[in-house]
Amino acid sequence: MESYSNAITRLCVLIEINNTSEHVFTLAEYLANDLRLLPKMNMSDESIGIFYRLYKNALYAVVQCCLAALPSDNQTAGIKYDQLGKRVQAFMGVLVEQLDGGQQSPFAVSSHVANALCNMLILTQETTDPSQQTGSIKQHMMYRVEPEVLAKLSAYIEQHVFGGGVESDVESSCLLAQKLMLATYIDVYRLHLALPRQSDTCAIVKYYGENALFADELEQLLSIVYGKDPKEFFCLVAHVVMDYCKKTNINVKVKVCL
């Protein structure tokens, strides 16, 4: 497995440098087979995380190539969109499964899982492009995002970024990985306007007041909440303040101006 792990690591770097090669179609086929065999492979946690990252990159490149291609392009002429859609759906299912009990998974895996899932959630949403070809491709790939999945994803991100399981300091590579997790999550958050649970928004406000390392990312999340409903935003902020006061036995007086 060591040679396989080294190979997928190199491929992961190469495909992120150049994802327009026609070989991504062949690579995606091989990785689809390997995904089914992954539970039987004796791979390290880090290698499993790299595999998720590589397969996400390959599928993403294939889909983008299909969306950008003209009907006459030989590169995509033989692509069966229904088969591609099944591969995308199968991979999405595997990533969502990682969220169950994944709060105890090593950060080397969780960072790749979170980023891959966020990228795929965005890729598989409905398109506003009216072209027939784009609509046909998206129809086969469409993934219905249930509120339960978003709730699990938010808890997963919260645990691995703010849960204290990873040492985060300014010079740590883990900090950069955590910031990337939040950055990709912001795109999903913006796409769905807000998370399904009020407590998630309260948590964002809470962490913004406690953790300066992620201030920029948290400000982006807060701006999305504010843009959706300013009145609700201020109610949530007040809720966080009152909750803090109760826990710390601080008595406050609130002046309400009508």
Condensed to tens digits (0 to 9), the pLDDT of residues 142-174 reads 777 787 888 888 888 888 888 765 555 545 778
Asked whether residue 157 falls in the same domain as residue 207, the answer is: no
Residues 6 or more apart whose Cβ sits within 8 Å of residue 28: 55, 58, 59, 61, 62, 87
Q: Please say whether the dihedral angle defined by the alpha carbons of residues 81, 86, 89 and 90, taken in this order, is positive or negative.
A: negative
Asked whether residue 163 falls in the same domain as residue 208, the answer is: no
Asked whether residue 206 falls in the same domain as residue 119, the answer is: no
Asked whether residue 217 falls in the same domain as residue 250, the answer is: yes
The position carrying tokens 């980023």 is 115
Asked whether residue 234 falls in the same domain as residue 175, the answer is: no
Last residue of a domain, one of 148, 171, 196: 196
Last residue of a domain, one of 148, 178, 196: 196
- The answer to whether 59 and 87 have CB atoms below 8 angstroms apart is yes
What digits encode the pLDDT tens for the residues 12-34? 888 888 766 678 888 999 999 99
Asked whether residue 9 falls in the same domain as residue 87, the answer is: yes
Q: How many CA atoms lie within 13 A of 205 on its CB side?
A: 20
Asked whether residue 226 falls in the same domain as residue 143, the answer is: no
Asked whether residue 222 falls in the same domain as residue 235, the answer is: yes
What digits encode the pLDDT tens for the residues 196-217? 456 667 778 778 877 788 889 9
CATH label of the domain that carries residue 28 = 1.25.10
Asked whether residue 158 falls in the same domain as residue 237, the answer is: no
- What whole-number distance in Å separates Cα of residue 139 and Cα of residue 124? 9
- What whole-number distance in Å separates Cα of residue 252 and Cα of residue 246? 10
- Tell me phi and psi for residue 127, to 5 degrees: -105, 150
Count the domains in the chain. Answer: 2
**DSSP secondary structure string for all residues of 154-196:** HHHHHHHHHSSSS---TT-HHHHHHHHHHHHHHHHHHHTSS-S
Phi-psi region of 146 (alpha: psi -120 to 50; beta: other; left: phi over 0): beta
What digits encode the pLDDT tens for the residues 52-96? 999 999 998 888 777 776 555 555 555 677 888 888 889 999 999
Percent pLDDT > 90 in the chain is 14
- The answer to whether 96 and 117 have CB atoms below 8 angstroms apart is yes
Asked whether residue 18 falls in the same domain as residue 135, the answer is: yes
**Domain carrying residue 245:** 200-257
Asked whether residue 171 falls in the same domain as residue 240, the answer is: no
Asked whether residue 68 falls in the same domain as residue 94, the answer is: yes
